[in-house]
Amino acid sequence: MIPTLETERLWLRPLEAADAERLFHIFSDMDVLRHYGMEPHVSIEETEQMVASMLEGMRTGAVIRWGIVRKDGPGVIGTIGFHNRAPRHRRAEVGYELHPSYWRNGYATEALQAALTYATHTAEIERVGAVVYTENVASQRMLEQNGFCREGLLRRYMRQGEQVHDVYMYGYTDEKQDHEA
């Protein structure tokens, strides 16, 4: 079971089917998805299907996904979590998104730090990867400020619509944990 995590300003709580309506406003926004590798949702049903898929992944342990909720706010402002989990190899990839109204307030960093602590200390994830479009400088900067290292360039790795994108591969390991092993 995925626990609720608390930070100074946020709750990270397990994603729920009821979150689909608020998430539709995020996943239908081209500004959010510009560097995400998917097309904007055009119907609530697309978002409901995406959330159902995430919930099934959470049920099987393949996915960990939280809804990001401000303690003083109206509901979910985004999500964060881990996918492409390989428990045998103790690795996963991180993904996150926020509604643009909440960009540049440190919420993504706050959520990322809590998620990384959970991953490395509770979920037995020793390596966290991140795939980031080369033009997504804001996400690169956030990852680097939180201990991720750029490990390489993957050419023509993702498509969005008809456009092909190069991405940077980032990696994170909890160095303290590495030294204890």
CATH of the domain at 28: 3.40.630.30
Q: Which domain holds residue 119?
A: 5-180
Instruction: Kindly give, in sequence order, each residue whose CB lies less than 8 Å from that of residue 163, ignoring residues fewer than 6 positions away.
Output: none
Which pTM does this prediction carry? 0.92
Number of domains within the chain: 1
Count the helices and strands in the chain (H runs, E runs).
Answer: 6, 8
List 95's β-bridge partners, or say none.
Answer: 81
| Res. 33: pLDDT tops 90 | no
Q: What is the pLDDT of residue 74?
A: 80
* CB 10 within 8 Å of CB 111: yes
* CB 176 within 8 Å of CB 147: no
Closest CA to 116 of 82, 69, 85, 77: 82
Rounded mean pLDDT, 39-43: 93
Instruction: Give the HSE-up count for residue 42: Cα atoms under 13 Å, Cβ half-sphere.
Output: 1
What is the rounded average pLDDT for all residues in the chain? Answer: 93
pLDDT 10s digits, 44-89: 999 999 999 999 999 999 999 999 999 998 899 999 999 999 999 9
pLDDT 10s digits, 77-125: 999 999 999 999 999 999 999 999 999 999 999 999 999 999 999 989 9
Tell me the Ramachandran region of residue 90: left when phi exceeds 0, alpha when psi lies from -120 to 50, beta otherwise.
left
The full DSSP string for 121-179 is HTS---EEEEEEETT-HHHHHHHHHTT-EEEEEEEEEEEETTEEEEEEEEEEE-HHHHH
